[in-house]
């Protein structure tokens, strides 16, 4: 009987604490995506210094990891794991971009454009 009471108390505590922990996990993933985008921007700048231009949309961010056969390529410029966002989806890349020379973005947790909170798009231009 005492064991049952202890289990009920632990269960009640877990239901009170768990939502707060999951909320912090989501904020951490958004922060990680922002940091990864900033790192990708720096890698793209290094690519441009070596090659003389940014990768095209068709070459994509994978050209930061593997040599696409471009003269003066001196990579890899990033580790392979940084091309996917914290939700394990590939970052979107466009060059030329709508908001600058290039755009990098993630569609957030839901993987769809727009959204609020963790589902909000994370971009290189905001």
The total of structural domains in the chain comes to 1
Structure confidence at residue 43 (pLDDT)? 95
CATH number, residue 98: 3.30.700.10
- Full domain range(s) for residue 78: 2-123
Q: Which of 3-17, 69-83, 86-100, 108-122 has the lowest mean pLDDT?
A: 3-17
b/e 78-92 (16+ beta carbons within 10 angstroms → b)? beeebbebbbeeebb
More confident residue, 95 or 25: 95
Tokens of 26: 């989501």
Q: Which of 15-24, 35-44, 51-60 has the lowest mean pLDDT?
A: 15-24
């Amino acid at each position: 009987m005492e064991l049952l009471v202890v289990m009920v108390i632990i269960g009640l505590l877990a239901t009170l604490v768990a939502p707060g922990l999951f909320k912090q996990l989501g904020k951490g993933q958004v922060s990680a995506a922002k940091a990864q985008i900033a790192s990708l921007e720096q890698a793209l700048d290094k690519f441009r210094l070596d090659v003389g231009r940014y990768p095209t949309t068709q070459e994509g961010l994978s050209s930061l990891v593997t040599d696409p056969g471009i003269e003066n390529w001196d990579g890899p410029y990033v580790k392979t794991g940084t091309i996917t966002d914290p939700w394990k989806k590939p970052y979107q890349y466009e060059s030329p971009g709508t908001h600058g020379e290039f755009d990098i973005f993630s569609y957030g947790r839901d993987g769809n454009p727009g959204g609020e909170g963790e589902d909000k798009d994370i971009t290189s231009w905001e």
